[in-house]
Every structure is written in structure tokens, then in C-alpha cells.
A and B are shown apart, each in its own frame.
Chain A
Amino acid sequence: MITFSLVPSTSTLRLAKIKEFLALFELECSEDVESFVVAKEDAKIIACGGIAGKVLKDIAIDGLYQGKHLALKLMSELLHVAYEAGRQELFLFTKPCYVEVFEDCGFKYITQAAKTIALMENHQNLEPYCKSLRALRVKGNKIGSLVVNCNPFTLGHLHLVKSACATCDWVHLFVVKEDASYFPYVTRLALIREGLEGIKNLTIHEGSDYIISKATFPTYFIKDKRKIDSLFTELDLNLFRNHLAPQLGITHRFVGEEPLCVVTHEYNQQMKKCLAQVGVMPSIEVVEIKRIYHANEPISASRVRKAMQDGDIELISHLVPSSTLYAIQNILKKQEK
């Protein structure tokens, strides 16, 4: 008899068993998984699948049971748990060779990285999103793009965007939407809008699930900086290049040169390789903009956050525009109370 159960990732003992099982498939148990649906027969794990927010991942089935419709049973259970939790719009990670299995469960293929990982979704939001981008297309020879988190918006970001706008006919700026940073999305977006007011050849786009989100790039949000997954980097970049950039006719992507943060540095290096490749879609040139410095150290958002912890308002005032400074002062005041 096959029985299904739900294992929260907080249950250490049972999670260890799942990790052992996943290791058989060269799958590493993702840190952000909240719970696993586990199928057992005779007290032995024969299949499992994890849920992390609106992403289904770490799905594996014992080789002996493959082809016996266990996948469909497992997916029925997983979907049931996800929908009951109110997560209607789901993404899913799998190996490209299993895409067909999940197509049978109502998922649609989006993109993949190498032969190792494929991203799928159970709704059709990518097409409408692309269409909404198409409506914002601006004509020009050199169309720049930037994807920023701005946690928070600094003079460095201002310099980066201004440099891009100075050399392009038009620039599209995308703001990372995921609320996984110290500053919430709404605040980050507001500070970006305030800080960039007056620049004429710029569109500020609200973020989406398709640009550096937990769906396209989960490792971006994992704090442990040593765990950089080049696969997810590639996944995110493929999606940008093949689906989003063509809608806006993007020819260039601008990034800040990154001396401090390992994740961003790796991302920049890989971006150059990935976007420049010749393929079906036109290639995109990556331009690295030199950082600006204050007191011999590059200006960065992480430096601002550090200064906030130290309560060093004087330093912060040299790193951020007045709008951000005002917001930070308000936050610090609230904390004092």
C-alpha cells in the first residue's frame, strides 16, 4: 500500500530521510522548501516533492516505481497541498527529460538551463506579460536595460542608470519584485522612482515572476553567499534574453561592476557569456559600469545597510540621494521608539 504524508521541513528527523532519498537522484534538498509530500511503501520513501512558496521542486520518484503512474498520484497530492494553501499560480523545476511528465499535469514549459534544469508554470502568465511589455516598446537603435534590486537606492544606482541613459536612446529598468530584502518592494520601488525623477528616456517597470524571482533564480535570495548556482543564473538569463528582451527590442544590458558581492559578481560574468551567445534571438551586449567611490570604498547598498546598523547617518548621507536618506532617517527614528 502506498501512503502519502506531508512533512514540514522543520521536522528534522524526517527531513534527513528525505535528503538521503533526494541524494540518490543527485538532487540537493533546497533550503527554501517549506514542506514535502512524501510517498511511502512499507515505511520506505518511494517518491517525494517539495513546495517552496509558489514553486514545486525537488520532485523525485524511485526508479522501480517510474512508469507506474506514481508521478500523477504524487502530483495530485502536491497540487492539492499547494492549492489548499491558496497558491494558485505555480512554477515547477524539473530535469528537461521529465518535462513531458509534468505537461500531463497541466504545466507548461518556459525555459531551461543546459540539460540539467527546466522551469515550468501551471498558468499562462508569461505570454500576457510579454504582451504588456510589447506595448511599452520604444523605437531606437540602442535600447538599454537594467535589472535592479536597490536595497536601498544609492548614489551608485543613480550613477549606473544615468550612465546607461546617457548612451542609449531609451532605457528599461526592471525592479526585482520579490520581498526578500531588508527594504520591502514598495519602499524600494518608491525610492527608485523618486531618485530617478526627471530622466526622460527611461521606463521603470514593476518587477515580475520572470525576472530574478524565487521562481527564476531562487539562489539569489539565499543568504549564504558561497552557494551560487550557475544553473539558475543561466535559467534567469535565458528567460530574459529569449522572452522578455525581444518584446522591447533590448540591445544592451547594463550592470554595475561588482567588487564586493560574490553572487552579483558571478552573475555579471555569466551574463556576459550568456547574453552575448549567438542564437535564435538577437544577442545582447553587456556593459559593465565602473562603481563610484566614497572614502576609497565603492558605494553599495550593502554598505548603506551596514552603516544603518552602526547608526552612521553621516556616512549614509554621502552614499544615498536625499530621498533615500529621508526614508532611512524615518526608519531609524521608528526603531529608536
Chain B
Amino acid sequence: MQQNIIPSHAGTLESSDLFVRILPKKEGGVSIELESSVCEIYADAIKKTVLECANAFGADGMSIIVQDKGALDYVIKARVQTALLRAFGMNELDWSVL
């Protein structure tokens, strides 16, 4: 499916939060760039959470750039979902996806 992705962002750079950016990219698939203050221990877990959110939306052809400041799992999920909603220009929430 050809998706029109709007560059978008969500979150802050403050402690226990994260700043998520979504940019369209020409190649298909979803790429994740992660920088985190807890990278050594949780990089894989954070990437997994981000990718799960993206897959739930059926995302394709985007790069997700994450600046994590040690956010907890549900914070990561909420921020990524918000960024995704903005990227797709969705105003109505589909709770079954979330």
C-alpha cells in the first residue's frame, strides 16, 4: 500500500521521556535509528517496542529516529504511537490498533 507519510515528531528530550521523529524514506520497510542513555542494556528492547508499534499501523517506507532518555516501555509506546498518528495524518483513533 502506498502511504503518504508526513514528517512528524512527538515527545521531549527530558529525562524519562523520548523524542521520536518520523521521516518518509524512499526505500520500503521501516528503519529505526536509536540513541539512548540506556543503550547498552535496553537498545534491543526499545527497538522491539518501536517496531511493534510501527507494524501495528502497517507502516512502510519510513525511518523512525528515537532519542531516548531512559523512558519506560509504556512511555515509548505512547510517544511512538502519537508520532505515527501524526505521520499518517490520522485524527480519529483506531483503538483496536493501539
Instruction: Name A residues whose Cβ lies closer than 8 Å to a Cβ of B.
Output: 69, 72-73, 75-76, 79-80, 83, 86, 88, 104-106
Q: Which residues of B contact A104 (CB under 8 A)?
A: 13, 37
Q: When chains A and B are docked, how far (Å) is the Cα of A74 from the Cα of B14?
A: 10
Q: When chains A and B are docked, how far (Å) is the Cα of A69 from the Cα of B37?
A: 14
Once the chains bind, are B9 and A79 in contact (CB under 8 Å)? Answer: yes
Closest to B7 in A: A88
Q: How many residues of B contact A (CB 8 A)?
A: 16
List the 3 closest A-B pairs by CB distance, nearest first. Answer: A76-B12, A72-B13, A106-B67
Against A, the Cβ 8 Å flags (1 = close, 0 = not) of B53-69 are 00000000000010101
Closest to B66 in A: A106
Q: When chains A and B are docked, how far (Å) is the Cα of A46 from the Cα of B28?
A: 44
Once the chains bind, are B12 and A105 in contact (CB under 8 Å)? Answer: no
Once the chains bind, are A105 and B21 in contact (CB under 8 Å)? Answer: no
Once the chains bind, are B15 and A73 in contact (CB under 8 Å)? Answer: no
Q: Which residue of the partner chain, among B9, B13, B14, B67, contacts A83 with CB atoms under 8 Å?
A: B9
Once the chains bind, are A76 and B21 in contact (CB under 8 Å)? Answer: no
Once the chains bind, are A76 and B7 in contact (CB under 8 Å)? Answer: no
Once the chains bind, are B12 and A83 in contact (CB under 8 Å)? Answer: no
Q: When chains A and B are docked, how far (Å) is the Cα of A76 from the Cα of B9?
A: 11
Report the minimal beta-carbon distance from A41 to chain B, rounded to whole angstroms: 17
B35 contacts the other chain (Cβ, under 8 Å)?
yes
Given contacts A76-B11, A88-B21, 9 further A-B contacts (CB under 8 A): A69-B15, A76-B12, A76-B13, A76-B19, A80-B9, A83-B21, A88-B23, A104-B37, A106-B65
Report the minimal beta-carbon distance from B75 to chain A, rounded to whole angstroms: 14
Q: Which residue of the partner chain, among B8, B9, B12, B65, contacts A72 with CB atoms under 8 Å?
A: B12
Q: Which residue of the partner chain, among A86, A88, A105, contacts B13 with CB atoms under 8 Å?
A: A105
Q: When chains A and B are docked, how far (Å) is the Cα of A14 from the Cα of B65?
A: 35
A83-B21, A86-B7 known; A76-B35 Cβ under 8 A? no
Q: Which residues of B contact A86 (CB under 8 A)?
A: 7
Against A, the Cβ 8 Å flags (1 = close, 0 = not) of B1-45 are 000000111011111000101010000000000010100000000
Q: Which residues of A contact B67 (CB under 8 A)?
A: 105-106
Q: Which residues of A contact B11 (CB under 8 A)?
A: 76
Once the chains bind, are A73 and B12 in contact (CB under 8 Å)? Answer: yes
Q: Which residues of B contact A105 (CB under 8 A)?
A: 13, 19, 67
Sample (27) of A-B pairs whose CB atoms are under 8 Å apart? A69-B14, A72-B13, A72-B15, A73-B12, A73-B13, A73-B14, A75-B13, A76-B11, A76-B14, A76-B19, A79-B9, A79-B19, A80-B9, A83-B7, A83-B8, A83-B9, A83-B21, A86-B7, A88-B7, A88-B21, A88-B23, A104-B13, A104-B37, A105-B19, A106-B13, A106-B19, A106-B67
